């Protein structure tokens, strides 16, 4: 990074002002003070100012998606990201449709669970903890089962941090005449999805990940034709994306009480996202964060679950060290004492923990994370944080 860039980053990234720790977690995450400050006043949900804020939010999300054209729209939904995914699936998957869910972690499996719960026909390709679903597998599954109408993929599977190959999956889906839904929750705003290369019928994401807002709003981006076709399809009243969309378009208002303060913070976060330089700049900062983190942790002996090819700039999974002196809870507390919150692992095959690269954080914070990890190892009397050999052998499967 050049000196000028460093000064610019130092100006834009601020330390938490209230003494709270840095959240190296994939959302909720560390937000800018100005984002939190935007929540200090009250807004009437039917007031013109609030209606204008909702419109600005929808427009800015479409800009980030690269879809600022009259044939697309953004529909916000109250709740966390899962509410938006459930609204997308329940509203946009036709009742007589069938979905192929591609899972390689908790979030893919959650989509299958949603479909199970709402009684929609579906089938699952489960790649386990972190192997990526590939285009050829999707092609094979679609030609074996002509009832399948939709494929659902998670862009960045946050449970391992793997960046799934959605271009080849989109290509296979389109070639078979099917439509694609994307859970882009932890990637939207930092990793571009070009609709020319990834033709999707809908994408869901939320306020509290790469946009760096606070939790409470999910949203779906889709062509208006998909939203129109969803009329009367949803199993749920509150999660009906079509009704929400029609309501917003009629009078600019949300159907039920909107999270007013969360929206104010979200709009502030969206403005800051644009001011930083949009998706490219946000993704660039997170990639820089990842590189400092991975290099520093590898310097201590830690290794990543994923080989470099699949590492996202969103969240990184590290194996536990093989040393018998390692105790994750102690490691967590020692790092927490230095003002940093990390994340437990979510794998079944290997013991691991995760460190996020997203949020109002720059390279200096990532260096602090590495220093805190080094200090914690010293206190635990561990000289080398290398994982067991079997863990690395497991990773070799991925290089294929």
Ligand X SMILES: *Cc1c(COP(=O)(O)O)cnc(C)c1O
Residue with smallest beta-carbon separation from ligand X: 81
Is the Cβ of residue 158 or residue 260 nearer to ligand X in the bound state? 158
In whole angstroms, the minimum distance from the beta carbon of 205 to ligand X comes to 9
Among 87, 185, 193, 340, which residue sits at the site for ligand X (rule: CB under 6 A)?
A: 185
* Length, in residues, of the chain: 400
Under the binding rule (CB under 6 A), the answer on residue 317 touching ligand X is no
Under the binding rule (CB under 6 A), the answer on residue 81 touching ligand X is yes
Q: How many angstroms separate the CA atoms of 76 and 31, rounded?
A: 20
Binding to ligand X by CB under 6 A, coded x per residue (else -) over 87-116, reads --------------------x---------
3-class SS of residue 150:
strand
Is the Cβ of residue 99 or residue 382 nearer to ligand X in the bound state? 99
Is the Cβ of residue 75 or residue 154 nearer to ligand X in the bound state? 154
Q: How many angstroms separate the CA atoms of 330 and 153, rounded?
A: 36
Q: Which residue has the tokens 């009684």?
A: 119
Binding to ligand X by CB under 6 A, coded x per residue (else -) over 199-218, reads -------x------------
| Residue range at the interface with ligand X (CB under 6 A); choices 128-136, 179-187, 246-254, 264-272 | 179-187
Handedness of CA 115, 117, 121, 126 (dihedral sign): positive
DSSP summary character for residue 308: G
In whole angstroms, the minimum distance from the beta carbon of 196 to ligand X comes to 23
In whole angstroms, the minimum distance from the beta carbon of 85 to ligand X comes to 6
Under the binding rule (CB under 6 A), the answer on residue 160 touching ligand X is no
Is the Cβ of residue 82 or residue 289 nearer to ligand X in the bound state? 82
Q: Which residue has the tokens 């209230």?
A: 18
- Contacts with 126 (C-beta within 8 Å, 6 or more apart), sequence order: 103, 104, 108, 109
Residue 389 is encoded by which pair of tokens?
């050999």
DSSP summary character for residue 214: -
Is the Cβ of residue 85 or residue 279 nearer to ligand X in the bound state? 85
In whole angstroms, the minimum distance from the beta carbon of 185 to ligand X comes to 3
Is the Cβ of residue 27 or residue 296 nearer to ligand X in the bound state? 27
- Contacts with 90 (C-beta within 8 Å, 6 or more apart), sequence order: 114, 118, 120, 233, 234, 235, 236, 239, 240, 241
Among 158, 160, 207, 352, which residue sits at the site for ligand X (rule: CB under 6 A)?
A: 158
In whole angstroms, the minimum distance from the beta carbon of 183 to ligand X comes to 5
Near ligand X in 17-36, by CB under 6 A: 26-27
Q: Where are the alpha helices (DSSP H) in the chain?
A: 3-12, 33-37, 48-65, 81-92, 106-118, 135-144, 166-175, 224-229, 241-251, 260-276, 278-299, 328-336, 363-379, 389-399
In whole angstroms, the minimum distance from the beta carbon of 357 to ligand X comes to 13
Q: How many angstroms separate the CA atoms of 204 and 38, rounded?
A: 24
Burial class of residue 245 in the structure, from the number of CB atoms within 10 Å of its CB (0-12 exposed, 13-18 middle, 19+ buried): buried
Among 25, 31, 186, 312, which residue sits at the site for ligand X (rule: CB under 6 A)?
A: 186
Is the Cβ of residue 81 or residue 189 nearer to ligand X in the bound state? 81
Among 154, 214, 227, 264, which residue sits at the site for ligand X (rule: CB under 6 A)?
A: 154
Angle between helices 278-299 and 363-379 (to 10 degrees): 20
In whole angstroms, the minimum distance from the beta carbon of 367 to ligand X comes to 25
Q: Beta strand 150-154 with 179-183: parallel, antiparallel or unpaired?
A: parallel
Total binding residues toward ligand X, as defined by CB under 6 A: 13
In whole angstroms, the minimum distance from the beta carbon of 285 to ligand X comes to 19
First to last CA, the chain: 33
In whole angstroms, the minimum distance from the beta carbon of 26 to ligand X comes to 6
Residues that bind ligand X (CB under 6 A): 26-27, 80-82, 85, 107, 154, 158, 183, 185-186, 206
């Amino acid at each position: 990074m050049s000196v000028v860039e460093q000064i610019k980053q130092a100006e834009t990234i601020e330390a938490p002002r209230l003494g709270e720790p840095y959240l190296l977690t994939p959302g909720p995450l560390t937000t800018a003070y100005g984002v939190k400050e935007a929540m200090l006043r009250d807004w009437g949900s039917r007031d013109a100012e609030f209606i204008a804020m909702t419109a600005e939010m929808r427009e800015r999300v479409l800009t980030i998606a690269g879809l600022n054209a009259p044939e697309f729209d953004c529909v916000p939904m109250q709740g966390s990201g899962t509410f938006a995914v459930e609204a997308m699936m329940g509203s946009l998957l036709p009742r007589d449709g069938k979905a192929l869910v591609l899972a390689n972690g908790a979030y893919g499996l959650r989509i299958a669970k949603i479909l199970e719960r709402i009684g929609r026909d579906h089938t699952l390709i489960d790649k386990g903890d972190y192997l990526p679903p590939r285009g050829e597998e999707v092609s094979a599954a679609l030609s074996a089962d002509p009832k399948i109408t939709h494929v659902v993929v998670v862009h960045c599977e946050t449970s391992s941090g793997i960046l799934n190959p959605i271009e080849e999956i989109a290509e296979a889906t389109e070639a078979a005449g099917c439509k694609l839904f994307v859970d882009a929750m932890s990637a939207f705003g930092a990793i571009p999805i070009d609709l020319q290369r990834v033709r999707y019928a809908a994408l869901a994401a939320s306020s509290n990940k790469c946009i760096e807002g606070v939790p409470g709003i999910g949203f779906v981006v889709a062509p208006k034709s998909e939203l129109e076709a969803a009329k009367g399809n949803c199993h749920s009243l509150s999660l009906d994306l079509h009704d929400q969309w029609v309501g917003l378009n009629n009078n600019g208002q949300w159907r039920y009480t909107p999270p007013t303060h969360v929206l104010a913070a979200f709009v502030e976060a969206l403005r800051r996202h644009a001011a930083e330089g949009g998706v490219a700049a946000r993704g660039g900062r997170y990639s820089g964060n990842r590189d400092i983190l991975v290099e520093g942790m590898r310097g201590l002996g830690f290794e990543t679950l994923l080989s470099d090819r699949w590492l996202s700039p969103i969240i990184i999974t590290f194996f536990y060290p093989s040393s018998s002196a390692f105790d994750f809870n102690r490691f967590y507390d020692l790092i927490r004492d230095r003002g940093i919150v990390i994340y437990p692992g979510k794998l079944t095959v290997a013991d691991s923990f995760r460190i996020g690269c997203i949020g109002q954080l720059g390279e200096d914070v990532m260096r602090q994370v590495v220093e805190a990890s080094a200090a914690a190892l010293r206190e635990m009397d561990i000289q080398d944080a290398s994982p067991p050999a079997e863990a690395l052998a497991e990773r070799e499967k991925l290089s294929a």
